Structure 1
Amino acid sequence: MSKKEILKKVTGTKHLKSSFKKREAIILRDYLALERTTLANERTLFAYLRSGIYMVIAGFAFLELKQFMDLEWLSYILFFFSLILFVFGTTRFIILKRKLEVYYNNMENENEESKKDKILESK
């Protein structure tokens, strides 16, 4: 097994690298499903950002409160995990957005080609 295959197996990046493939003509239901996926992607990004912001706020709370000076290390851990959430959420958002853009672009190109074909057939 190559290092790349082992890395895929361990990290599970196979799911992030998969691409959408068109199998047949797109219909309204499919188009609406793509729109729902786009909106869900945005909601997920906002959830990651919101969680990260909450962790930053909690970290500042642990730093500022005198009763929790023993737990100062916890605030730095919260800052670290909030940074991880920001990066991970943004990365997932960008990856899925690019995949959807490729699919939308393919769909638009096919729609234009079908329109041209219909115009040529009518002449």
Structure 2
Amino acid sequence: MDTSHLKPTDALAIERTRLANERTFLAYFRTFIVFLSSGFAILKIEVLQEIREVGYFLILLSPVLLIIGLVRFLYVKRQVRKYYYPPELTGKK
């Protein structure tokens, strides 16, 4: 994207925001993976049969976390593109 119309400090701030957004999505994704694998582990290990409900809860919660992370990532990405790269400056409609 064309950042020639921005001051160098503004362009760097936008880049930091974009990278922070990616890091936040990766944190949601890591949490999704941990919850999903922990849920399956609880269900598979016989010693942990008394907390089977926790395993089901973690398996059901993990896709919710992934969806929240993905929606948040796309929302912030769209907002950064909308406010810092307006169409009239980038030549796009």
Shorter chain as denominator, the TM-score bin is: 0.7 to 0.9
TM-score (norm 2): 0.83
Identify unmatched segments of 5+ residues in structure 1. 1-24, 113-123
Q: CA deviation at 1:26?
A: 3.3
- Corresponding residue to 2:40 among 50, 60, 63: 60
Query: Which 4+ residue blocks in structure 1 deviate beyond 2 angstroms?
Result: 108-112
Q: CA deviation at 1:104?
A: 3.7
Identify unmatched segments of 5+ residues in structure 2. none
Q: CA deviation at 1:75?
A: 0.7
Q: Deviations over 1:19-55 (max 9, x none)?
A: xxxxxx7311011100010000001000000011001
Matched residues in 2 for 1:55 and 1:64: separation?
Answer: 14
Task: Determine which structure has more spread, i.e. the larger CA radius of gyration.
Answer: 1
Q: CA deviation at 1:92?
A: 0.5
Task: Name the % identity.
Answer: 36
Q: Does 1:109 align with 2:88?
A: yes
Alignment length, in residue pairs? Answer: 87
Q: Which residue of 1 aligns with 2:59?
A: 79
Cα distance change of structure 1 residues 111 and 51 upon mapping to structure 2, 3 Å threshold: closer
- Corresponding residue to 2:31 among 30, 36, 51: 51
The residue type paired with residue 109 of structure 1 is E
Matched residues in 1 for 2:57 and 2:39: separation?
Answer: 8
- Corresponding residue to 1:69 among 39, 42, 49: 49
Matched residues in 2 for 1:27 and 1:77: separation?
Answer: 49
Q: CA deviation at 1:64?
A: 0.5
Cα distance change of structure 1 residues 101 and 77 upon mapping to structure 2, 3 Å threshold: same
The residue type paired with residue 88 of structure 1 is I
Higher normalized contact order (CA 8 Å, seq sep 6+, divided by chain length): 2
Q: Which residue of 2 aligns with 1:42?
A: 22
Q: CA deviation at 1:95?
A: 0.4
